[in-house]
Amino acid sequence: MKISDKMLRKYAELIVRTGANVQKGQVVQLNISVEQHAFADMVIEACYRAGARKVNVDWNSDTASRLHFQYADTETLGMVLPWEEEKAKQGVKDLPCRIFIASDDPDAMRGIAPQKLSDVMQSRARVLKPYRNAIEGKHQWVIAAYPSEKWARKCFPDTEDAVDRLWEAILKTVRVTEDNDPVQAWKEHTDFIESKAAWLNAQGFSSLRYRSANGTDFTVELIPGARWEGAGATNSVNGAFYIPNMPTEEIFTSPAAGKCEGTLTAVKPLSWNSQLIEDFSIRFENGRAVSCTARKGQELLERMIRMDEGACMLGEVALVPKESPVNQCGFLFYETLFDENACCHAALGMGFKEVLPGGDDMTMEEARKRGINDSIIHVDFMIGADDLSIDGIRPDGSIEAIFRNGTWARGGETGT
Ligand code: ZN
């Protein structure tokens, strides 16, 4: 392994200080693979040095998870035991800062029946989702990545130095180099994203129109007053600014659930439950996905859209210029954290109530009434074609170019 200890510590510090922004006296919940125990120690130490009161670790293992799915039955796996529910309850009380280090083998669940995976997920969500809703917007969290051997081999199957190459890509996208100050680099990056979001918010668009030669021809309504957000978020309880995803390139909002029309054509494969859906497009009528075609994985895509009532509606639209460093890496990461930051995308399923003014304090029921979609899934798919154009349309009918040829149009660029 060529990556130096110094670089690893720099990265751990960045995750804790800039990503999670751990505050003095806070409890931290770290979720990390047992394989990454050495890096876990670096993160734990960085948390304590930032003033954490206690760092609790949830160790996970993708190989163990696979064994559970292979041998245990659906009912048992779908059960949330009282102590697990107590833990979720405690989380609502303590509001710990959460750090997730993603490193799973993208093929970890290959061969496990998709129906079993979705049944277990649905059954657990019935008990745990209210607790997840209750902490939404009220705690800091961050997802960052650490390349495991299997993940790296999936991205670079025929190379000896797969892990090094994945490291190189990850560090490039999270703006960590041997001699830079990544905290400063992130400040400039988030300032840029926030200036774009501010421009979008000042425009007051009521709908967006997407067009590309690949078949994308789509209009979606936005929720009046809903905000475009990007880069960071603020914990509504303690005011701490944090960066939920590292890397992050997107500016996003939740569109009006059930109010879109037309076809979206994907430009990159979608990896869901360890399976690939390729060359697909989804047609929407009256805001709902009514049909889809895929060269590969069509059945899986149809199953996804039927997961629950909200799974066929959009929860997110996001703008990412094609110059994104993730896109420049030029390969599929098989990990949404990266792949969704490659180019423009939309997501089926759960929306973000925090884009509504006062949304953090709304119940999901209230947010739904305002147009935010509700679902147990949130699956991003990439629609940022090189020739993609996006127009913003205001309530008075005036039109502004937002994207041309897959990147910011001039009006957006100048911020006027
Ligand atoms: Zn997104």
Residues paired with residue 144 on neighbouring β-strands, in sequence order: 101
Q: Which helix (H) or strand (E) holds 188?
A: helix 182-203
Give the Å distance between the CA of 364 and the centre of ligand 1.
Answer: 20
Residues 93 and 131 in one domain: yes
Burial of 384 (0-12, 13-18, 19+ CB in 10 A): buried
215 and 122 together in one domain: no
CA distance 36 to 281: 37
- The rounded distance, in Å, linking the Cα atoms of 139 and 148 is 28
- State whether 210 and 126 are in the same domain: no
Peptide bond just before 244 cis, omega within 30 deg:
no
Separation of 314 CA from ligand 1 center, angstroms?
11
Whether 315 is in a domain gets the answer yes
Query: Tens digit of pLDDT for each residue in 98-145?
Result: 999 999 998 999 889 888 998 998 899 999 999 998 998 899 999 999
User: Do 163 and 222 reside in the same domain of the chain?
Assistant: no
- The answer on 146 and 223 residing in a single domain is no
Residues 288, 361 share a domain: yes
Quote the Cα angle for 270-272-278, to 5°: 30
Type and span of the H or E element at 295: strand 288-296
Report the distance separating Cα 385 and Cα 345, nearest Å: 10
Residue 104 DSSP SS3:
coil
Separation of CA 216 and ligand 1 centre (Å): 18
Same domain, 390 and 315: yes
Give me ligand 1 centre to Cα 123, in Å. 25
How far is ligand 1, taken at its centre, from the CA of residue 73, in Å? Answer: 33
Q: For position 410, what pLDDT does the model report? A: 66
Pairwise CA distance, residues 2 & 103, whole Å: 18
* Dist. CA 248 → ligand 1 center (Å): 9
Which structure tokens are listed for 66? 């696979």
Q: How far is the CA of 57 from the centre of ligand 1 (A)?
A: 27
What is the distance between the alpha carbons of residues 165 and 171, in angstroms, rounded to a whole number?
10
Instruction: Give the H/E segment covering residue 90.
Output: helix 82-94
Q: Are 209 and 336 part of one and the same domain?
A: yes
DSSP-derived 3-state class of residue 73: coil
146 assigned to some structural domain: yes
Residue 37 and residue 50: Cα distance in Å, rounded?
A: 20
Q: Looking at residue 413, what is its pLDDT?
A: 46
Residue 335 CA to ligand 1 center (angstroms) comes to 12
User: Tell me, what's the pLDDT at 70?
Assistant: 96
The CATH number for 112's domain is 3.40.1830.10
Q: Is residue 415 part of a domain?
A: no
Distance of alpha carbon 104 from its chain centroid, rounded? 15
Residue 161 sits in the same domain as residue 69? yes
CA of 154 to the centre of ligand 1 (A): 23
| DSSP-derived 3-state class of residue 28 | strand
In a domain, 306, yes or no: yes
**Residues 140, 272 within the same domain:** no
**Is 48 among the domain residues?**
yes
Quote the domain boundaries for residue 301: 203-228+247-408
Residues 157, 45: one domain? yes
The number of folded domains in the chain is 2
What ranges in 259-315 are assigned the alpha helix state H?
Answer: 298-305
200: CA distance to ligand 1 center in Å? 16
Q: Are residues 42 and 163 in the same domain?
A: yes
Could you tell me if residue 236 is inside a domain? no
Structure tokens at 150: 């299997």
pLDDT for the residue 275: 84
Distance 49 CA to ligand 1 centre (A): 31
Residues of the chain with pLDDT under 50: 411-416
Looking at residue 415, its pLDDT comes to: 39
| 300 occurs within a structural domain | yes
Q: Quote the CA–CA distance of 75 and 78 in Å, as a whole number.
A: 5
239: in domain: no
Burial class (CB in 10 A: 0-12, 13-18, 19+), 76: exposed
Residues 41-82 have pLDDT tens digits of 999 999 999 999 999 999 999 999 999 999 999 999 999 999
**Is-contact 232 192, C-beta < 8 A?**
no
Q: Output the DSSP codes for 209-272.
A: EEE-TTS-EEEEEEPTTPPPEES-EE-TTT--EE-SBSS---EEE-EEEEEEEEEEE-SS-EEE
